[in-house]
Structure formats: C-alpha cells, structure tokens
Chains A and B, each alone.
Chain A
Amino acid sequence: MTRLRTLTPLLRPASFPTSAKALATSTALFNKGVVAPDKEPFSVYIHWPYCSSKCTYCNFNKYVDPNVDNERMERALVTELKSELVHWGLDQGNRPIRSVYFGGGTPSLARPRMFKLVLDTLSSMCALTKDTEISMEGNPSSTTSIEALKALRDIGINRYSLGIQSFQEHILTELGRDHTPSTALKSLLDARTVWPGKVSMDLIMGHAGQTLDDWIKELRFTMDIVDDHLSLYQLTVEPGTALHTDVKQGKMTLPDGDLSTDMYEATIQLTREVGFEHYEVSNFARNKAYSMHNSGHWIGIDYLGIGPGAHGRVSHPHTRQKFRTFNVRDPAGWMRECEEQGTGRRKTDAIELEDSKRELLVLGMRTRRGIDLDRFYQLTGQGLLEFLNKDATAWCIDAGLLQLSAASLSPTERGMAVADELSVRLLP
C-alpha cells in the first residue's frame, strides 16, 4: 500500500486536471451542502480484452491473441485496481460497492484466478457486501462445463450474462460467432442451474434478410428458455467493423426503419406477455431482476474503469467534481503503463456541470424509471424542470411521450422509442 501511494500522487486536488470553472461550481455546491458527505455506493467495471474470434459487427476494444500472458494481465489488473481505488479515495471505507462487472471482450476466457484476485483486492480494500452484484459476461464457446461455472460462482460471481446473439445457425455464421445454437442453449441451461434467477442473455435482431416473422419465432422460442433477464439489441452498424464495410459497399442491407420498428414493438409485446418489464430501450427483466450495474450507470452512479480501454466516471473525493476517465486501449501498452505508473489511465476529463445534466437526461430518457427529481437536484444543484426546455416538456407530456409524477420525469413506452429525439427536444 505505501508503495502504491508513492506511485500515484493521491488525494491531492492539485493532481486532478480540473477545469477551474467546473471545480468552482462543484466546490460551491459542496460547501452549500448540496451533496451530503459521500456515502454513495460505487461500481467497478473490469475489462477483459481478449476474444477467441472476431464477430463481424463488434467494435468493442477486443483482441484475438493466442498467447495471452494471463499472469501478467492479472497482475496489471490488480495493480491498476489498487491504485485507482486509492487515487479516488474509495478505500476509505465510506462508500460501499454497488456492483462489479466483468465485461469484454470475453471474460469467460480468463482464468478463474483473475476473478479471484480482483474480488480479493476489492474485499480487502473496500466494503464488498452480500448485496453487491457481481456479474460477468460469457460466450457459449468458452463455457463448456457446468463445473467451470460453479467454480466461478464459488469465487463470488453472482450474476451471469451470456452472449447468445441468435439461435439461428445461418445468422451465427453470418455474425462470425464461434458457437452453434445448441452449444448456446446448453450454456444457458447450465448457467441457469448455477445461478437460478440471475442469468441474462443477449440477442440481436435486425439482421440482413431477417423478417418480422423470423424474429417473432426466435423470440417465442427464447421465451421458453429464458431466465429473468434479457438484453435484446437492434443490430447496429458500427464504424470499423466488417459489417460496416459490407453495408457501405452495398453487399448487405439491414431492415429499414419501418421493419426494425415493427421488430422493436413486437419484442416489447412478446416479452410483456410472459411477464417481462421493458425497463430500458434494449433491456427486459422480470421478478425485478434488473441489472444493478447498468441501472447504476444510467442514474449517474460513479464507476471505476479498470483494464485496457476501460472508461470510468468517478467523483473527486473532496470536491465531488465528476471526471470521465479513459484507459490506454491496447493491452500491451496498458500493461506497461500499469507496471511503470501503477495505472493505465491515460486521460481524465472533468465533466462540466452542464454535461452531467445532459448525460442524466440522455440516459434517463432511455429508462422506464426516468429521472428522479430529487436525485437530479442533488447531483447538479438545479431542478430538472428548471433545466429543461419548458415548452418542449409540457408539449411532450401533453403528447403522451413523457410522464411527470411528484418523484420523477419518465418516458412513456412511446417516448422511450424516440428517446434520442426527446433528449434533443428537451434540452434548453
């Protein structure tokens, strides 16, 4: 610990690249007591950057590397985690951990040791409670035995998110996935026995040539085997992917606006029929099995970003100024930084107060819960309704796109479908 303290000059406000203005406003707020001394839980995101193959649609920070140096990677993760916890004053015991999320890439390719080292570090430096949600992402191709899953559970993982993407062979091939529908199904059932009620699965809709009927069939099948959480994404053409090239060159056409809207609406309806709540644009839960980690992100909870290319959003322990952090993206470079500097954090940007407000708006409009009025005030020092364009707000409420209660402003189902447009409209 003492060694680490000398590696990063910690807890000295001067070491934060704070914009003078942002610092002044947030200090003022803090002095006025707008934000209570920090007891707010925070989250931790751990990025495992390796995959066994590259999917055609994916532009996440991921690498296919047959010679992963697990040992070194694990060490670097732990080093960075320790430095960052200290740097942001998260080892002071006042802030419990809300969630830990192992994402990727493909975390299920990592050794169980990696999870153990990280969780041990967390529990030794902070308050890891029995309510802390600890999730990991997994691919069907790398979770072949139920024993392996049990080992992960025993280490502390209590929620599992399985990337299935599709149950149709030709779609899986098209996407460049390295598993079949049956391995996916087996992985899912295994996971459900290990983490009953705590398994989520990802599916993608809107593939080239996919009809509304195709998707409805796939959804109905899914409803028979699903646990209590679902992420159903519309296929998005991301720059720098093989899919992007194909679409740009006209080799592939994705469903147009109307068809993709029909799929979106069918999804909401079919999941609702079996008890799922559409609680975020692409997320569905029943029995209140919401993802704590993701919901935290949407309501402005701090999260630490650990690992290559991970990003975080953390508050200064004294001034409560929020920062966005960015890590070195390539694993080798990131590991070197961790070894030499104690952290691979490359950029730390103060988030202007106005940007915080906008972020709460944009993310809030994507969720069923919407924006909590008190919380918005506590975080920003301004009332939400004061911040928003008044005419537009009134108009959207009238038009049945927004709902206003004493506690929150939230989008209706119709509103959520046009959340991007709503946000632009509601901005002052």
Chain B
Amino acid sequence: MQTFRYPHFPPELSTVHVALFNTVTNSADIRSRIIRASQLQGPDGDTERNALNFAFIDARLICSLLHLQTAIYQAVLAHAQRSLRTKTVHSEILWALNPTNNASIRRYGVSDTATSLIVVRISSPDLPDVQQLMTSVVSGTLSSLNQLPEITDWGTVKKYHKLNDEPALKAAAKNVTQERIVVNEIVTSTVAMKSVSS
C-alpha cells in the first residue's frame, strides 16, 4: 500500500491510500457484500458500510499510477467543493475514470471475475491500520503499484476510450512502448477534464 498527501485539501480528505491486490479470489463476495451493505439498516449496516468504505477498482482498466491519481484528485476536488455527482468520494473516482456517463460502477468497479483490484481509501492523516482494513476485505496478494502497466488490458482501455481510429494511435502503432505512452496520456487527460467535457 502507498499513501499520498494533499495538504491543501481539508484534513478529512487530505490523505489517499492506494493498494494493488493480485490473485484476488473473493471478488464476487466483495461485490455482493457491497450490494447488501447498501440495503442494510441500523448499526449493522453502518458497521458493514464502514468496513467496505473504499473504492474498489478493476486494475485492468488502469494504465498508470498517474491515471489513477488523476481520477482520485478530481474526485476529492469535487468533494471539497461539494459538487459530487455520485454518492461518495469513492464512487466519484469510478465516475471520473469512466469516459462516458453510464455504467461507471459496472465497468470500473469490482466484477465477479476480477483477479486484480485496486483499493483506495480517502481519509484524514490519522486513520490507523488502513492496510489491515483493506486486507480484511480482499483475499489476494498485496503487490507493488509498479506492476500496474503489466496488468493493464490495453485493448479494452482503447475500446472504452474509442481510440482505435485516432491518428495519435495510428502514428504510434509500430511501437508498443510508444503506443502505451500515447494511450496513457490520452486516458489520463480525459479523466482530468471530465468535469468540463461536454
């Protein structure tokens, strides 16, 4: 897990925890827990919602740490400005990642078959044992975020962002490394500007 600081944000939003889990075995279980938690009433509901108070993101759709951080940043900014388009800062990250306006959670959230998950928690600087909170939900191998580009499903990313016919991609087609730099740049920029894209 890695932690990033944003001292200019209000304290309760100033700290971002990010972890990558590989070989995840309980994605279907996490997904159904999330659905059930949203319907549970009373203190049990609060406890369960608190235990699941993360963004769960399909790691195959993330190109780079910068791509992820850009979505997180825009979500936290929207929250700080009281202009969230979704219920929570965590669901807002999925909204920011999605180039269109539908199916953000279905596409970018946890699916039953996901084996690589990114888990994000926005908090104050003094939330203790965050990694412990994450590992108690996700059964998988905690991995370095350096591995992100190897997990990326570049074909699906290109499809979701409708990049296949773009001149930028055609120009870089001969060279895989070059193409990934171009895709990562377009995708990251798309996330950064989603709030003003018509």
* A and B: interacting chains: no
Chain A positions near chain B (C-beta within 8 angstroms) = none
